[in-house]
Amino acid sequence: MVFQAKTVEEAIAQGLKELNIIREDAEITVLEQGKRGILGFGAVPAKVEITAKVKLTDGQRAEKFLEGLFPLLGAEVTPVLADEEEKIVINLEGDAKGIIGRRGEVIDAVQTLAGAVANTGRKEYKRVVVDCGNYREEREETLKRVAQKMAAKAVRIGKRVRLEPMNPYERRIIHAALIENTEVTTKSEGREPARYVVITPKNMKNEKHGERGGKGRYGEKRGGRDGRGNRGDRGGRKPYPKRELPSEATPETSGTSLGSGTTPGYKKGGFTGFFGTYLGKAEEETPVMTENVAPMPETDGNEE
């Protein structure tokens, strides 16, 4: 519709009011800038053409985005919006082999981009599925079979089984396929894009991290390294007792104080088994041992 007024801004405001839309939802084309004239003579009103923009749905925005993407990729594919109620489904019609890629890498990347476009400005994320030649359904069935097969293997060998890296959509399929399996549990580990699913059997053998299993030569448990890298007991050996510091009752002599004799300073029931030299207090006197020494012969003073 064409609206006119003295100025362009007045014509635009008049048109938006009559169409009951905001400026962001309108396409405005200025037809005439308008002229004021002299003393009211020769004035030309401003003219603008205003049409309401066609508001696209989330699915239509994603579809239009893919229409411009595939020519840049050199792919002869036509996107068709199939559904957008619970989730947005876009089917690709054309060369399926060229757009799916190895293990679906290309079509997964296209789906990620379409999801980003469709959810722009949304508060709650809406799932977007881009399919080509019923690839998604066939891939889902394959993943379910792989999940059951790997779960049976994990239970049979009693160890964890790690699957190949997958995207979030495929990992959810694995988790959902084994959620009712009472013999295993599933968990995602690693970081994107190499995040993977680990299947853990509930009958898994007791394998501690870093522990070497088995028994010793005579049946005793042979320890290995614990989780901190410390070597445990091997061959059934007992750890050495922790030696305490000497107490005040320690004998004040040097040497070995193992006996129960009459060594000076020895106290019965005191510390035993201490080897080496005990350094006592400096101010204490040490008993002096004397011996019977023969007297020196007397001289007559004539010796030189």
Q: Domain end: 152, 185, 201, which one?
A: 201
User: Residue 48 sits in a domain of what CATH number?
Assistant: 3.30.30
Q: How far, in Å, CA of 285 to CA of 292, rounded?
A: 22
Distances from the Cα of 265 to the Cα of 131, 246, 258, angstroms:
95, 14, 13
For 152, the token pair is 């049976």
Are 188 and 151 found together in one domain?
yes
pLDDT of residue 188: 95
One domain, residues 38 and 94: no
Highest-pLDDT range among 67-71, 97-101, 245-249, 276-280: 67-71
Taking only the tens place, the pLDDT of each residue in 77-93 is: 899 999 988 899 999 98
Question: What is the band of 255 on the pLDDT scale with cuts at 50, 70, 90?
Answer: very low
| Mean pLDDT taken over the chain | 75
Q: What is the mean pLDDT of residues 101-115?
A: 88
Q: Residues of the chain with pLDDT > 90: what percent? A: 32
| pLDDT of 117 above 50 | yes
Burial of 98 (C-beta count, 10 Å sphere; 0-12/13-18/19+): middle
Does residue 103 share a domain with residue 63?
A: yes
Looking at the fold, whether 62 and 127 belong to one and the same domain comes out as yes
| CATH number of the domain where residue 129 is located | 3.30.300.20
Q: How confident is the model at residue 206 (pLDDT cuts 50, 70, 90)?
A: low
At residue 60, what is the residue type?
Q
The Cα–Cα gap between 88 and 130 comes to: 8
Range of the domain at 117: 58-133
CA distances from 123 to 25, 62, 63, 64 (A): 20, 17, 20, 21
Q: For 164-201, write each residue's pLDDT tens digit.
A: 999 888 999 999 999 999 999 999 999 988 999 999 99
CATH code: domain of residue 162 = 3.30.1370.50
- Over residues 47-63, mean pLDDT: 88
The structural domain count of the chain equals 3
Q: How far apart are the first and last CA of the chain?
A: 150
